[in-house]
Structure 1
């Protein structure tokens, strides 16, 4: 059976179930597991010898939190991340994640421009997640446009930012990343994506897999990610 692509609503329901009393997870735990998965997937594809300078672009929501966690782990892995986080959340969880990055001396940059990108080997896009809808608000319109114009490879977290979660890159309004790290299960909009595709978030129980008919592939050994490039490209 083919792996399921999630609608925005089903993705939200699964998250709610994971964080329910029956699911037992907290948002902190899921964010930590997701961010660690993202960092591991990046490290498998982009070596620190050739792609040490990683610019992590974070939005104000949970996708941005995943990016902050990933930046911390990438630093521990030996990369040299920097963080562009123009609209920082005031929630305690996000402030603690930012503090953890500060404690590792990971620099926060104030502006995304061509000069910065010229000194970047890889962009990690953690701006918008599967809750995104509607218009792109300031300051992220300019950010998306800048990323559309760069030749630096981009790895996106869960869904490429500003893509419609179900319909994909409508009218080409956003960039096309070179790599996508889907979390829990791929979202419907990712059916348009034809690049390197990994799945992360090894927190879905067999029971939850069966309940939502996700048909997830097995994770190899002790890995937190699995390469689904061939699985998803075959479906296109």
Structure 2
């Protein structure tokens, strides 16, 4: 799986699902961001986390598993950037939203000849790394088809997994489920977007933060830390509870 490297010593404050939703609304109102911009920034951060975890020399084949919501959109954007970095992404996107934004993101990938697949198991077997962009901070309730078997496969695979904002099926506040397809699912890496969510206290892999666009005033309002991003990086590696980097 992923090897922890010495990067940064800091502990970040977390952002609840309710506050994360409120922050997104504020960014799109008084902050003057569009949903397209926020998704582009999130997807760019995800792509950079992949690059740091799994450089091209380790293998180019990236499977991006996308859900029907914003988390899936972040995955689609990340796949476009990964293609331009030189990776060979494949997209699993079984429940596409009817929203025009997702249709445009798919069209952008199709124009680059990035393949879409309905055969998750075959794609998993031919991948060097998986991006879990199925469910994000707004997930709650039951995992519905076709995702239970996908999450079970993510749990059981030996292929490294990077989860976007949350390991899919985890509760944002309380972490991994006690039963169901996500029981025992612990991906090797997680990228938190904007700020870590409370579930991070249960996570034991490598942890990245992406969100290099918050103003100091917004961060202060929500009690968030802005970590010291380096150079042109859109991500920074940070510890989880009980972990030193």
Pairwise TM-score range, normalised by the shorter structure: over 0.9
Per the alignment, in what secondary structure is the counterpart of residue 3 of structure 1? coil
Per the alignment, in what secondary structure is the counterpart of residue 170 of structure 1? coil
> Structure 1: which 5+ runs fail to align?
none
For residues 26-175 of structure 1, what are the structure 2 equivalents within 5 Å?
26-113=34-121, 115-171=122-178, 173=180, 174=182, 175=185
Deviation of the 1:3 alpha carbon: 1.7
Distance 1:65 1:196 in 2: 23
Per the alignment, in what secondary structure is the counterpart of residue 89 of structure 2? strand
Q: Deviation string for 1:156-178 (max 9, x for gaps)?
A: 11111110001000216422111
Distance 2:91 2:48 in 1: 18
Distance 2:220 2:123 in 1: 45
Structure 1 partner of 2:197: 187
Distance 1:226 1:147 in 2: 24
Structure 1 partner of 2:15: 6
Distance 1:172 1:182 in 2: 24
RMSD of aligned Cα (Å):
1.4
> Structure 2: which 5+ runs fail to align?
1-9
Q: Deviation string for 1:64-83 (max 9, x for gaps)?
A: 00000000000000000000
Q: 1:50 and 1:2, CA in 2 relative to 1: closer, same or farther beyond 3 A?
A: closer
Whether the 8 Å contact between 2:186 and 2:204 is mirrored in structure 1 is no
Distance 2:170 2:74 in 1: 18
Q: Deviation string for 1:195-235 (max 9, x for gaps)?
A: 1111012111111111111123121122111111x364449
Deviation of the 1:51 alpha carbon: 2.5
Whether the 8 Å contact between 2:189 and 2:207 is mirrored in structure 1 is yes
Structure 2 partner of 1:23: 31
Q: TM-score normalised to the size of structure 2?
A: 0.91
Deviation of the 1:105 alpha carbon: 0.5
Q: TM-score normalised to the size of structure 1?
A: 0.94
Distance 1:191 1:231 in 2: 6
